[in-house]
Amino acid sequence: MVNVMSLIKKTFKTNHYLIYLLLFIFLVSTNISHAENKTLIRSVDFSQQPDGDARAWLLERGYLLKLDADEFDLKFKNGQLNIKTSDSKASLFVLKLKPENYIANVSSIEMEWGVIKHPDGANWEEGNNRVALAFMFFFGTEKISSGLPFQINSAPYFISPFIGSKEQKGKTYTGKLYKKGGRYICVATTNGSNKLIKSNIEVNPEYMNLFNKDKIPPITGIAFQMNTSDTEGGAHAFIQKLNFYSSK
């Protein structure tokens, strides 16, 4: 009787481990499958740039410096593009892609970036829509009104992920302008620790849900901005890398 019970216990224990082993193999194979379905199709990488002024580098590659961007401090440091101001100003750095360089079939965008200092007073929850750092990804070529008269500053639909401080992570905000064509998404929050943050935007569901579209146009423009207007103390942030992935 003792031998029979021991055999049963031994068999149960063996099957128990076998179940865990099979579950582990299933999970690993699933993750591998997902990884294989995710293909890097474009990258903006500052991690290999030597330390020094970054303005000439950006201009040579077609970036347009808008608003007060000429007055911002732009430097490559420790493999990162650093953007800094001590004043209340707004900057926008825009790269309009040529048709042959449009980024099609994007399923997700990964950002490696961080904030060293937030502008004092920035708070989207209370209506002061200022940012230490935000990206803007423009989809398609259809120009949507900014809300200003005579189609001033009209732009394609865009999604703008940003790093916040007092905002709610994962929440989508609407700005004072571009109420139809633009959405701002707080993808991470920090108090300004200089920590590298890795964020991810799943383009397909975000675009479908935000703009009620059944087809995602290619990305036709990329921009990043720092806006310290109506705040104090300036801001300091950095970008290390930007990756575009396709699931096709």
Same domain flag for 153 and 241: yes
Position 193 scores a pLDDT of 84
Number of domains forming the structure of the chain: 2
Span 223-244, average pLDDT: 97
Report the alpha-carbon distance of residue 91 to residue 71 in Å, rounded: 8
Mean pLDDT of the chain: 88
Q: What is the 3-state composition of the chain as percent helix, strand, coil, each rounded to the nearest 5? A: 25, 45, 30
Q: Please determine, for residue 20, whether its predicted confidence score (pLDDT) is greater than 70.
A: no
* 22 and 110 part of one domain: no
- What is the token pair recorded at 235? 């801001």
With 80 as the cut, is the pLDDT of residue 21 above it? no
Helix or strand holding residue 31 (H, E): helix 2-36
Distance CA 161, CA 170 (A): 10
Domain that holds residue 3: 1-36
Q: In 3-state terms, what secondary structure has residue 206? A: helix
32, 68: one domain: no
- Give the rounded distance of the alpha carbon of 101 from its chain centre: 20
pLDDT band at 4 (very low <50, low <70, confident <90, very high): very low
Q: Are strands 155-164 and 182-189 parallel, antiparallel or unpaired?
A: parallel
Q: Of 163 and 37, which is predicted with more confidence?
A: 163
Instruction: State pLDDT tens for residues 142-162.
Output: 999 998 988 888 999 999 999
The pTM for the full model equals: 0.84
